Structure formats: structure tokens, C-alpha cells
């Protein structure tokens, strides 16, 4: 288990991939450019969100398939795909294909349960079966088992000149060892650790032990490891300003201030807690992280880029994270 003296081993970033609905191609191209830029800077991983019926990435498999052809080293992940809106069989085929195209660089991450705003569009996915669908962990285990190569068909053989397998194809060796779960509660953390998933813990957790974000996140990380889990990646929002222009700094400060009221206050029936956005020079942010009890027990991160910034802002943030913040945390960039 890492401790406060352990250097950061793996540095990644997460982007939502926003686009203008009047010109969606430009937004998707910008996301691919960000991933390419991250590879040049030495980041170990790049992650994308999935957003249904929003102006963000709705098909991470398609975007990451394109990214496999424009990168050669950086690992590519999803944080996260809500499994409740997916067909596990088809998703296993898609992710297997992307992993083969990437030569084993894919890190699929998931959530279980009812997806956001699901009642508003569930009939578009399950027009006759919504009431009978398992949207929880069982659906994700079906996906995991198919990726592992468990039997999917009762027929295997040749029909005419066509050959059929009884397992999902292509089979991507090692993909089942790179599955992640985005957990925000002790229940989720224990389930992930017990079922062979790595843990993605983000800037939102359930306040099961009171209103202190760090205390709750630390408890969930420890519960995950006690359940048999190994790898944990922390995904806080960091906004380093080392090379930011005065105009950028002003906008960043306004953004962080607009979100500060939600910190330290439980939200909704599950008492969800939000972490504070970490804004400032990299040395200041590094000091804050080194005092964070959950950060002291992990050695890899996927820092979340703010949702609504401009392309040049993301380039500046990634540059400062790679050149200043990462090294301040003991990280070394990956070889080109």
C-alpha cells in the first residue's frame, strides 16, 4: 500500500469531450487532439466520460477507437460507462475490438445502477423490457464474464464456408484484468474489490461517515483494499495556474468560486459530498494533495479537467500538470 513518501507512479487525466451541436466534428477532433497532446507530454493515461443525450461523448468506444490510431503508448480509459444503458454482449465486442486496435492499452471503467435521467429515455433503449432489466452489478458481471471468454453461444463450428466461435470475438487477452469500477460508496468499493475490478474514486463520494469528504474517501479506499482490491486511481479536479495568463486565472477563479458552495454540504438522500477544486500554483496543489489522507494511500491519479473550459485552457492545464504538478508529486513522464 502506498504511503505519503511514495512517489506518484501513474498520472492520467479525464476529459468530458464537449462539442457544439452545430459542429460536433470539431469538438470530437479537439478531444482527440487533447489525447494526442497528453501522450506527447508523457501522461500515462487519458480517460473520457460517457454522456447520453448531452453535448459530450456519447460513444466512448468510437472515440477511443479513433484515439488508438493517433497514439501509440498512452493508455485509454472510460470513466465511466453506465452499464445500465448498455447491452453487455455488444459492449464486450466493441471493447474487445478497441483493445485489439490499441494493442492492449484499453482500461474500461463502469458504473452500475440506474443511469442519470434514465426515466426520461429508458423507453428508447428498452421499450418493452425496462421493468425487467437488471441495471445493477449483475449486468456488469455479465460483461466481465463475456470479456473473460466465457461461453456465449451453444453453437461452435462451421456452416458452409463460415466459421463460428462460441465466445465473444475478438477476444482481447488481458482486457478482463484492466476493468475499473467508479465507486462512490463503501458498498461499491467492497463490491469492486471482491469482484476483481480496479477502483476509480472521484471528486464525488457518499457521506457515510459525516460531512468530511476526505474521511469518507479514505474509508472507501481502505474498504476496497480489505475486500481484496489492489489498484486505486483518484480523480480530483486540479486547476494549476503556473503558466496561465491573467485572463485565464480570472476565469478559473470564477469557475472554482461558482462551485465552492457545494463543498462540505451533503446533497440528496444519499448525502453525496463534493471535493473542493484544487486551484493555484502546482507547488500549492501538491502540498494540499500530500496532506490529503486518501491521496497518501494511492499512487495513481486521473485528474479531471473542468467541464466548460476552452481548448487552449486544457492545453495549458495539461502542460502545467505534466511539467510542474506531476514532478512535484514525484512522478516522471513516460518515455516517448
pLDDT (0 to 100) of residue 299: 97
pLDDT band at 335 (very low <50, low <70, confident <90, very high): confident
d(CA 205, CA 13): 19
pLDDT (0 to 100) of residue 47: 98
- Which pairing describes strands 75-78 and 106-107: parallel, antiparallel, or unpaired? parallel
Q: Cell 444519499 appears where?
A: 270
Buried/exposed 40-55: b ≥16 CB within 10 Å, e otherwise:
ebbbbbbbbbbbbeee
- Tens digit of pLDDT for each residue in 56-95? 999 999 999 999 999 999 999 999 999 999 999 999 999 9
User: Which of 143, 272, 133 is CA-nearest to residue 202?
Assistant: 272
- Which pairing describes strands 238-240 and 45-48: parallel, antiparallel, or unpaired? unpaired
pLDDT (0 to 100) of residue 334: 81
pLDDT (0 to 100) of residue 55: 96
| The three three-digit cell numbers of residue 74, written as one number | 498512452
pLDDT (0 to 100) of residue 5: 60
Buried/exposed 111-136: b ≥16 CB within 10 Å, e otherwise:
bbeebeebeeebeebbeeeeeeeebe
pLDDT (0 to 100) of residue 6: 82
Phi, psi of 136 (to 5 degrees): -100, -150
* Chain centre distance of CA 64: 13
**Residues 146-150: what's their mean pLDDT?**
98
The structural domains of the chain, ordered by start, are 10-152+164-328 (3.20.20.30)
pLDDT (0 to 100) of residue 43: 98
- The pTM (predicted TM-score) of the whole model is 0.96
* Chain centre distance of CA 297: 19
- Tens digit of pLDDT for each residue in 286-333? 999 999 999 999 999 999 999 899 999 999 999 999 999 999 999 999
Q: Residue length, the chain? A: 336
**Residues 274-283: what's their mean pLDDT?**
98
Q: At residue 4, does pLDDT exceed 70?
A: no
Mean pLDDT, the chain, as a whole number? Answer: 96
- Tens digit of pLDDT for each residue in 153-195? 999 999 999 999 999 999 999 999 999 999 999 999 999 999 9
pLDDT (0 to 100) of residue 2: 53
**Residues 114-132: what's their mean pLDDT?**
96
pLDDT band at 336 (very low <50, low <70, confident <90, very high): low
- Tens digit of pLDDT for each residue in 93-122? 999 999 999 999 999 999 999 999 999 999
| The three three-digit cell numbers of residue 115, written as one number | 443511469
Dihedral sign for Cα atoms in the order 189, 185, 291, 12: positive
User: Which of 246, 284, 280, 279 is CA-nearest to residue 260?
Assistant: 279
User: Which residues face 247 on adjacent strands?
Assistant: none
- Tens digit of pLDDT for each residue in 242-252? 999 999 999 99
Amino acid at each position: 500500500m502506498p504511503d505519503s513518501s511514495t512517489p506518484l507512479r501513474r498520472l492520467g487525466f479525464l476529459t468530458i469531450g464537449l462539442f457544439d451541436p452545430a459542429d460536433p466534428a470539431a469538438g470530437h477532433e479537439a478531444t482527440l487532439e487533447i489525447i494526442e497532446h497528453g501522450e506527447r507530454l508523457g501522461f500515462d493515461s487519458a480517460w473520457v466520460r460517457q454522456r447520453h443525450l448531452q453535448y459530450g461523448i456519447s460513444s466512448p468506444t468510437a472515440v477511443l477507437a479513433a484515439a488508438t490510431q493517433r497514439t501509440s503508448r498512452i493508455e485509454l480509459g472510460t470513466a465511466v460507462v453506465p452499464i445500465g444503458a448498455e447491452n453487455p454482449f455488444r459492449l464486450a465486442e466493441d471493447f474487445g475490438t478497441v483493445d485489439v486496435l490499441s494493442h492492449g492499452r484499453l482500461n474500461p471503467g463502469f458504473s452500475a445502477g440506474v443511469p442519470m435521467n434514465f426515466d426520461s429515455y429508458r423507453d428508447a433503449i428498452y421499450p418493452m423490457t425496462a421493468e425487467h432489466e437488471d441495471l445493477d452489478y449483475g449486468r456488469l458481471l455479465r460483461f466481465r464474464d463475456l470479456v473473460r471468454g466465457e461461453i456465449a453461444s451453444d453453437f461452435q463450428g462451421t456452416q458452409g464456408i463460415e466459421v463460428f466461435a462460441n465466445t465473444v470475438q475478438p477476444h482481447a487477452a488481458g482486457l478482463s484484468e484492466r476493468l475499473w469500477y467508479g465507486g462512490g460508496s463503501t458498498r461499491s468499493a467492497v463490491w469492486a474489490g471482491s469482484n476483481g475490478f480496479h477502483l476509480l474514486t472521484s471528486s464525488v463520494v457518499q457521506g457515510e461517515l459525516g460531512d468530511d469528504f476526505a474521511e469518507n474517501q479514505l474509508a472507501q479506499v481502505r474498504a476496497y483494499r480489505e475486500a481484496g482490491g489492489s489498484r486505486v486511481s483518484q480523480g480530483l479536479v486540479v486547476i494549476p495556474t503556473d503558466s496561465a495568463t491573467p485572463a485565464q486565472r480570472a476565469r478559473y477563479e470564477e469557475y472554482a468560486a461558482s462551485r465552492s458552495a457545494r463543498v462540505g454540504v451533503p446533497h440528496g438522500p444519499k448525502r453525496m459530498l463534493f471535493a473542493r477544486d484544487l486551484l493555484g500554483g502546482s507547488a500549492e496543489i501538491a502540498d494540499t494533495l500530500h496532506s490529503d489522507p486518501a491521496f497518501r494511500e494511492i499512487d495513481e491519479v486521473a485528474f479531471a479537467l473542468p467541464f466548460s473550459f476552452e481548448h487552449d485552457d486544457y492545453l495549458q492545464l495539461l502542460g502545467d500538470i505534466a511539467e510542474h504538478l506531476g514532478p512535484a508529486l514525484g512522478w516522471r513522464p513516460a518515455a516517448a
